[in-house]
Amino acid sequence: MNRKKNNKVAAVIDIGSNMLKMRISQLKKGEIVDIDVLEYPLSLGHEVFTEGKIRFESLRELSRVLHGYSSIMNEYGVDQCKVVATTAFRDAKNRSYVLDQLKIQNDITVQVLEDDQEKTLIYSEILNFLNQIENKKSENALISYIGAGTIGFSVYNGKHMVFSQNIPMGALKLHDMLGNIQELTEDFYTVVEEYLHSIIGHISIPFNKGIVSNLILTGNEIQLIAKICSVEPVNDCYTIPAEMLTDLFKKIRSMSQEKISLQYGINEETAELLYSALAIYISLIDFTTSDYIISPKVELWDALMRLMLIPKSGDEYFEHVRENAISCAQEIAKTYNCNQKHSDNIRKFACRIFDKMKGAHGLDHRKRLLLELAAILHDSGHYVTAKQHLLSAFDLIKDIDVYGMTDDEMLITAYVSRYNEYDVPNYDDVEFLRISDKNRLIVSKLVAIFRLANALDKSQKQKLKDIKVKLDNDKLLITAESNDNVYLERWAFEQCAPFFKEVFGYNPVLTIKSSLI
């Protein structure tokens, strides 16, 4: 094969719930160009959703196909390869054994993407796509990805994501969970609709009474639905009338799988998923005023390939995550009546200290984002109770969905938020011992910084508008100006200084200057 040596060839292998796919691409004149795309049907999702595990027979089949994929990658001279797995692996109880065997048998390291990671990568590609379409950039939308085992659900206000939630219920999982009922009643579609309403109906999005202007859907079944509706893509995007989708659902919801299969020339397994996917799509239409469903031809591996082949895309992607995570967190903070002026102030202070201590803490920009999220959300516990507000904040934050953040990261954020001037992380605390030693160290470092920043606005009256931070030998010198009574801030700072010194070895010193004589 003829290709320039500096034209890198990359491969993405996506181990999905019902399909194993490989895409090989390279960058030509700034555009990603596909060299080869391969697909192999698997039923991992069905096994996991019904039995809880991936069978070893399926593992052997997966391993065999991956060997074949490896040979093809060698033929094309692939320089870098990313292997990812999604819902089926996430939910499999024996995933550690399966991952270990794939490493041993195939010398492949599989990254099991968390729900938030998977959806955020897809959403980033959708927003890239929308920003290229005239007049779509400024419009608000509900953006949803319907997978085999999960539904991703985000709200875009025209500038940022303001809401993000993942629901553990996809087209395949929905069918496998309720499939046994189908033989007991001819009114099965009512069961599905009621079950979906019990989950999706409780979602309350913070946007114009829960209604947005546009509905943007992606998922494995959308191309099939578009084909049945005789809708052709224009510029790699389907635009399907909502009424057409509703009519199709009414038509098939009381039909058997066999009849759906014969009617539309598809196999029975696809017919099962078609019904489940349509039921989910119809449920989402109620959140919008749109007469159309927009469905760009975007997949997970588009984002993964971009990150591998296009320089600087990694930085751009992180900035996308950061902006939208903060936007979502601020929207959540409004719901819990948090003081935004206070959180903005200590977020600024915390970042100043974090940046100045870079050589001492060794933490990356992702951990800096967790510090920002903790500053935004730390007062949320007061919404529940003033008596145990720190513990309430911890319980709320650890279970909150924030755009682009993993469960592990939100747990770290929750820990950072739950300590004030009286309390510090304690290695004897049973709850604290539940997280890994690595994460305990990260929490301790972030808590040391957060407590110091929080102390500087203890009164929540922004008496210190800004601070200057400087390292001088073994001291962290913080200077500020204020003509107000700052005795509360000085007291809180002194309370928090010893733990900071214990963690970093630097003694914090606060100097507040006044222009009053």
Domain ranges across the chain = 9-113, 116-304, 313-513
Question: pLDDT value at position 306?
Answer: 93
Which span out of 14-18, 227-231, 498-502 was modeled with the highest average pLDDT? Answer: 498-502
Q: Given this model, what pLDDT does residue 187 score?
A: 61
Q: Are 318 and 141 in contact (CB under 8 A)?
A: no
Is the pLDDT at 118 greater than 60, yes or no?
A: yes
Helices then strands, each counted (H, E), the chain: 21, 14
User: Which pLDDT score is estimated for 180?
Assistant: 61
pLDDT range class, residue 133, cuts 50, 70, 90: low
The 8-class DSSP code of residue 435 comes to S
Q: Distance (Å, rounded) from C-alpha 489 to C-alpha 467?
A: 13
| Region of poorest pLDDT, from 151-155, 178-182, 399-403, 470-474 | 178-182
Q: Is the pLDDT of residue 498 over 60?
A: yes
For domain 313-513, give the CATH number.
1.10.3210.10
Strand partners, 292: 241
When pLDDT is cut at 50, 70 and 90, the band that residue 30 belongs to is confident
Mean pLDDT computed over 403-419: 92
Choice among 215-229, 370-384, 495-509 with the minimum mean pLDDT: 215-229
Q: When comparing pLDDT for 274 and 106, which is higher?
A: 106
Alpha helices in 141-267, H assignment, sequence order: 171-178, 188-200, 222-228, 242-252, 257-264
Q: Are 477 and 469 in contact (CB under 8 A)?
A: yes
Kind of pairing, strands 214-219 and 292-296? parallel
313-513 matches 116-304 in CATH topology: no
For residue 84, what pLDDT band results from cuts at 50, 70 and 90? Answer: very high
Kindly tell me if the per-residue pLDDT of 377 is higher than 70: yes
b/e 98-123 (16+ beta carbons within 10 angstroms → b): bbebbeeebebebebbbbbbbbbbbb
Q: Tell me the pLDDT tens digit for each residue of 190-204.
A: 777 777 777 777 777
Task: Decide if pLDDT at 82 tops 70.
Answer: yes
For residue range 211-247, list pLDDT tens digits in order. Answer: 888 899 888 788 888 888 888 988 888 999 999 988 8
Kindly tell me if the per-residue pLDDT of 77 is higher than 90: yes
Q: What is the CATH number of domain 116-304?
A: 3.30.420.150
Checking if the pLDDT of 3 tops 50, the result is no
pLDDT tier, 1 (very low <50, low <70, confident <90, very high otherwise)? very low
Q: Which of 177-181, 261-265, 499-503 has the lowest mean pLDDT?
A: 177-181
The C-alpha atoms of residue 12 and residue 311 are separated, in whole angstroms, by: 17
Per the CB < 8 A criterion, the answer to whether 328 and 410 are in contact is no
Residue 404 reports pLDDT greater than 50: yes
pLDDT of residue 138: 53
- 155-181 confidence digits (pLDDT tens): 998 889 999 988 877 767 776 666 666
Residue-averaged pLDDT of the chain: 87
Average pLDDT over residues 259-274: 80
Q: With 60 as the cut, is the pLDDT of residue 429 above it?
A: yes
Per mean pLDDT, which range of 206-210, 329-333, 349-353, 443-447 is the poorest? 206-210
The three-state secondary structure class of 476 is: strand
Instruction: Read off the pLDDT band of 500 (50, 70, 90).
Output: very high
- Residues 361-375: tens digit of each pLDDT: 999 999 999 999 999
* 125-142 residues labelled b (16+ CB within 10 A) or e (exposed): bbbbbbeeeeebeebbbb
pLDDT at 120: 93
Element at 121 (helix H, strand E): helix 115-130
Bridge partners (DSSP) listed for residue 238:
295
268 versus 214: the higher-pLDDT residue is: 214
Task: Tell me the C-alpha distance between 59 and 358, whole Å.
Answer: 44
Q: What confidence score (pLDDT) does residue 87 get?
A: 87
In CATH, what is the architecture of 9-113? 2-Layer Sandwich (3.30)
Average pLDDT over residues 378-388: 81
User: First vs last Cα of the chain: how many Å apart?
Assistant: 80
